[in-house]
Amino acid sequence: MIKVALIGCGAMGLMHLHCYKALSKNVQVVAVADTDSKKTEEALKICNNNVTVYNDAMTMLDKESLDIVDICLPTFLHTKFAVAAMEKGFNVFLEKPVCLTNDEADLLLETQNKTGVKVQVGHVVRFFKAYKWLKETADLGKYGKIKSAEFKRLSAYPAWSPMLMDYRRSGSVALDMHIHDADFIRYLLGEPDDVQVAVTRDNEGVIQHIFSTYKFDDTIVTAQGGWDFPQGFPFTAEFLVNFDKATVVLKDNMLTVYPDDAEPYSPELISEWGVNVDIGANVSYTGDYYDEIKFFIEEVIINNKPDIVSLADAISSTRLVWKEIEIAGGVKK
Ligand SMILES: NC(=O)c1ccc[n+]([C@@H]2O[C@H](COP(=O)([O-])OP(=O)(O)OC[C@H]3O[C@@H](n4cnc5c(N)ncnc54)[C@H](O)[C@@H]3O)[C@@H](O)[C@H]2O)c1
């Protein structure tokens, strides 16, 4: 049985707990930590009161014997606790974005190299069914080369999360939300040769919407990520990818393929397990989070297979977004 402890029982932490519960054949959550007792109470409910609760995560790391530490803390705290967990010899599941600074990224990589533990980062979009289908189809070359693509990720202003609204703790919409597409684009096409960036900012000069254009040889890809929309605006994640021999569109959660020489069709995208849970955020479906956590536990930890989102790879995506922010003139002007 793989023993897991979770640090940070906010929105993402609760999401992960639901997934561990569904994976209870191989996994047992033995401890949770959060400085907010209301949050640990919610965690206890999901775990049927069957975990040890800590309000100090460092004490938990000292006392517990663990296989995995799952870190769902606000981004500015990721490095401190990931380094402490690695130093104890525990494998780490670390939520995205990895961290806020280059020094932190270097320290994380150094610590992983020194300790040899496994670290997967929560770039869950790589596990989303439509994006996974797109990556597999592109790799197979079924419709030829990608000529151009656009990705979009838009949300109501994250008034539900003081952490997200504070760019010093989250890194802003660019690092917190747009990174999902930046990371997926790197996964799909590799490192871009060139990036151009435009942003809109709020009255305080903080980036609220980023528009990036990536160039790969003769392929052009755009991605926009914004969260300055009204509270009633529905969360929107879409793409349009133009291959040599087909166009593929994700819109309103529906994936449609328009081949050059056949009728349009929608690939069947099946989830192994998925329910909607209320975690107090703009995501509720467990399916893709279940898949990424199951992959880490069963393939990476138990079967010793290479990871789909290694720490080094996720740091490269983080560095790409830092570069975009720098091109735009900084997170805050
Ligand atoms: N992969 C995804 O789709 C996705 C979605 C949402 C959030 N995230 C990421 O997950 C991370 C957490 O985001 P969230 O929305 O769950 O935030 P949140 O604010 O809802 O939860 C963070 C929790 O950490 C706790 N905490 C703060 N300081 C602590 C400390 N020192 N020790 C123990 N607990 C502490 C808070 O009390 C809170 O419960 C962020 O990095 C975010 O970017 C990822």
Q: What is the pLDDT of residue 153?
A: 98
With the most atoms of ligand 1 within 8 angstroms of its CB, the residue from 34, 108, 124, 293 to mutate is 34
Distance 93 CA to ligand 1 centre (A): 13
Same domain, 33 and 80: yes
Domain boundary among 84, 105, 123: 123
With the most atoms of ligand 1 within 8 angstroms of its CB, the residue from 12, 19, 79 to mutate is 12
pLDDT surpasses 90 at 130? yes
CATH number of the domain where residue 40 is located: 3.40.50.720
Distance 112 CA to ligand 1 centre (A): 22
- Establish if 150 belongs to a structural domain: yes
Domain boundary among 107, 123, 139: 123
Same domain, 36 and 147: no
Q: What is the mean pLDDT of residues 64-76?
A: 98
Tell me which residue has its CA closest to atom 21 in ligand 1: 10
Distance 1 CA to ligand 1 centre (A): 26
The packing angle between helices 179-189 and 311-328, to 10°, is 120
pLDDT surpasses 90 at 177? yes
258-312 pLDDT per residue, tens: 999 999 999 999 989 999 999 998 889 999 999 999 999 999 999 999 999 999 9
Same domain, 19 and 129: no
pLDDT surpasses 90 at 49? no
pLDDT surpasses 90 at 35? yes
- Establish if 298 belongs to a structural domain: no
Same domain, 118 and 135: no
Same domain, 184 and 262: yes
Tell me which residue has its CA closest to atom 27 in ligand 1: 73
- Establish if 137 belongs to a structural domain: yes
Return the ligand 1 atom nearest residue 78 CA: 41
CATH number of the domain where residue 316 is located: 3.30.360.10
105 CB less than 6 Å from ligand 1?
no
Domain boundary among 123, 144, 165: 123
Same domain, 174 and 228: yes
Question: How many structural domains are present in the chain?
Answer: 2
- Establish if 280 belongs to a structural domain: no
User: Domain range holding 24?
Assistant: 2-123
6 CB less than 6 Å from ligand 1?
no
Same domain, 179 and 242: yes
122 CB less than 6 Å from ligand 1?
yes
Q: What is the pLDDT of residue 282?
A: 85
Same domain, 82 and 176: no
Same domain, 101 and 171: no
176 CB less than 6 Å from ligand 1?
yes
Are the CB atoms for 40 and 53 separated by under 8 Å? yes
List Cβ neighbours of 73 (8 Å cut-off, separation of 6 or more).
Answer: 7, 8, 81, 95
Distance 139 CA to ligand 1 centre (A): 34
Same domain, 73 and 104: yes
- Establish if 149 belongs to a structural domain: yes
- Establish if 193 belongs to a structural domain: yes
150 falls in which pLDDT band (50, 70, 90)?
Answer: very high
Return the ligand 1 atom nearest residue 73 CA: 24
191-237 pLDDT per residue, tens: 999 999 999 999 999 999 999 999 999 999 999 999 999 999 999 99
Same domain, 157 and 81: no
Same domain, 119 and 139: no
How many other CB atoms are there within 10 angstroms of residue 188's CB atom?
A: 21
Are the CB atoms for 118 and 307 separated by under 8 Å? yes
- Establish if 53 belongs to a structural domain: yes
228-254 pLDDT per residue, tens: 999 999 999 999 999 999 999 999 999
> Which of 121-130, 135-144, 156-165 bottoms out in mean pLDDT, i.e. has the lowest?
156-165
287 CB less than 6 Å from ligand 1?
no
- Establish if 97 belongs to a structural domain: yes
